[in-house]
Structure 1
Amino acid sequence: MEHVLAQHRPSGPASPPTSPRPGRRLATWAAALLVAVPAVVAGCRLLGTDAVTPVPQALSFLPWLTVPAGLAALLALAARRRPLAAFAVLVLAVTAWCALPYGPDTTTARGPVVERLRVLTANVEFGQATQALTEAVRRERPQLVYVSECDPACAHALTAALAVSHPHRAVVDGEGSAGSVVLSAYPLTARPPVPAAMGMPGASARIGGRNVELRLAHPLPPLPGQVDLWKRELGRVEAFAAAHRDGDPVLLAGDFNASQDHAAFRAVLDAGRLHDAARLAGAARTPTWPRELPLPPYVQIDHVLVSDDFRVRDVRFLDLAGSDHRAVLTGLDLHAGR
């Protein structure tokens, strides 16, 4: 005799679906929070805007934002949130692409080399690193030295100590961060400084039979409340670069208070068809600031920019006791041109 077993069907309404596990919910929220800042910053970088505080400050961290974006993707995958994971991967890819070096990796210099020279740019932090810079100049023997935050005492000490090797100079006198000086082994012809809160002296030098335009850049930093001033002063540096785009060779160096991730700095490069020497030497992302924190420097804001008349032999970064910036020492070849 066959026995048929009937299926037992529970009576009553169906039970509600189970809610996500607390661990997945936490991972979802963490992923969303982690990806938010990289998404906004990478978006501003793509749009070419420095916007308002805190965007310019956050742009200084752009290469490092690949870390939270990557963590967000992993957490979203662990929480099985595929749309969120896909968005985090997209943000990671965009951030990594934006972190690539900006601009061409070579110049179009032509003709024979007419001069081999070295350029050193240093922020001496209110003159505190004056002695260290003096020792570095004597050791490294650059022909051109760009010095930011060099007060009158600093300028006097440098010109006295380096009177034989660098007898020529262009100076903007000022206390604290307002003073700047360009020291030169070559004779200089004075040029008006760029109007700014901090000194941006300039001159023309006769180098290898060519007139070379020299300019020290030191715009205000993009502190909260003065982002417009920062952009305005970088705009004046851009105007200088544009005015010399098709003229004599240009050496524009200093503490730009901006990295390649800031649209205002990229505008300077584009306006003057200039090249960041560190980029040409394969060191575009070497941080130069700040040196006085427990953590190592995280952003490159000190630059040596060159026109197409130069080729870069090498770039080195020097630590100067007393300064919160690393100095940039660049070896250059000046070509005769067409």
Structure 2
Amino acid sequence: MTRSPARARWLRIGALAWSAAVACPLLLPLADLSFSSVVPVVQALWPGWLLLGLVTLVGCLGLRQWAAAGIVVAALVAGLLPGTLTGSGAEPAGSGESLTVLAANVEFSQGDPQVLADAVRELDVDVLVLLEVRQRYLQRLRDLALDTDLPHGWGRPVAGGAMGTTILTRVPQQDETRWPDPFGYRFQMPTVRLELDGREVVVRAVHTQPPAPGPAPAWRTELKALEAWVDAVPSDVPLVLAGDFNAGRAHPAFRDVADGFAVAPGRGSRTWPEDGPLGPFVGIDHVLGRGLAPVDSGSVSVPGSDHRAVWGRLGPAARRSS
């Protein structure tokens, strides 16, 4: 059955218009826009736009609308490319002591402490970054004898509500003061230094603001401030950033922070909202390592929290041949 010229023309116009509309959100990972907080929210939904794009592509191919299909393919490739270029990091050296970092947003101290304590022991965690933590939650972890596994960092004062952040470690830690960050972040973001194989490693807890209504989102401002601090730390100093970035690979501001870092867990990891009806669909919790190479990584469901905890095992990076 052949279509009439008029019907074929309208089908072609409709397919082109729909494909162009679908292409817009697919291309958003390329856009570093600060005029509205809506943009990062739409960017975070990129997995859904990807699915819509694939369905549209199948429909265009089925209807033999080649030009419309070409628009969708171009948008898919352009939107996917930035994420594939993020977080390759260095290659592991194959020997030397590794550092296992677990980061958990426990949502106002509601995350199950027993699950976290079990994860620390099962994964042999060296560094535990806790976000949205209160003093009474730390006491619950002490009651589970977690201070025997991670004896250092318990004396750090933590703020109330969602502001509180702390870093607990297996080996002694010192507050890092050589590269102060003058920016006034909303949430606590402490920095410590440890010793690994006779070499110091700097670890910073990250909890940047989520996108919120406003013409100049604090979300982007805080990520840019974090990027500036990262740039101030000499590149030969091993650096770990771990926590809730409220951003992922679809966000240019996150990719700027993560440039030169290994990113764990790997691509496709979803960490929020863990308690939603569809399960987590965006990856905003990360462990980043610079000057260290990823050996293994994953995530842990923590009942009571809306975030999955994330972990990364980082080893010495292989020396680059000149």
Q: TM range, normalised to the smaller chain? A: 0.7 to 0.9
Distance in 1 of aligned mates of 2:12 and 2:117: 54
Given the alignment, which residue of 264, 268, 274 partners 2:253? 264
The CA distance in 1 between the partners of 2:157 and 2:85, in whole Å, is 31
Please state if 1:119 is matched with 2:106. no
Q: Counterparts of 1:108 and 1:76 in 2: how far apart (Å)?
A: 41
- Consecutive unaligned residues of structure 2, counting only runs of 5 or more, are none
Instruction: Tell me the residue number matched to 2:30.
Output: 46
- Shift in Å, 1:289: 1.0
Give the aligned partner of residue 169 of structure 2.
Answer: 184
- For 2:119, the equivalent position in structure 1 comes to 136
Say how many residue pairs are matched: 310
Pairs within 5 Å for 1:1-338: 19-20=6-7, 29=14, 32-33=17-18, 35-36=20-21, 38-49=22-33, 52-76=36-60, 82-98=66-82, 100-103=83-86, 105-107=88-90, 113-131=95-113, 132-159=115-142, 161-169=145-153, 171=156, 173-191=158-176, 195-225=184-214, 228-270=217-259, 273-278=260-265, 283-308=266-291, 310-334=292-316
The code of the aligned residue for 1:188 comes to Q
Cα distance in 2 between the residues matched to 1:275 and 1:335: 10
Distance 1:82 1:108 in 2: 42
* Higher RCO structure, 1 or 2 (CA under 8 Å, sep 6+): 2
Q: CA deviation at 1:52?
A: 2.1
- Give me the whole-angstrom Cα distance separating, in 2, the residues matched to 1:224 and 1:30: 34
Kindly tell me: are residues 27 and 320 of structure 1, through their superposed partners in 2, closer, same or farther at Cα, counting changes over 3 Å?
A: farther
TM-score (norm 1): 0.80
Structure 1 pair 18/61, CA: closer, same or farther in 2 (3 Å)? Answer: same
Residue type at the aligned position of 2:159: G
Alpha-carbon distance between aligned partners in 2 of 1:245 and 1:274, rounded to the nearest angstrom: 14
TM-score normalised by the chain length of structure 2: 0.84
Larger Rg: 1
Gaps of 5+ in 1: 1-16
Question: SS in structure 2 opposite 1:164?
Answer: helix
Structure 1: distance between partners of 2:57 and 2:315:
46
RMSD, aligned α-carbons: 3.0
Task: Decide whether the 8 Å contact of 2:130 with 2:167 is kept in 1.
Answer: yes
| Residues 259-279 of structure 1: per-residue CA shift (max 9 Å, x gap) | 011111111122xx322133x
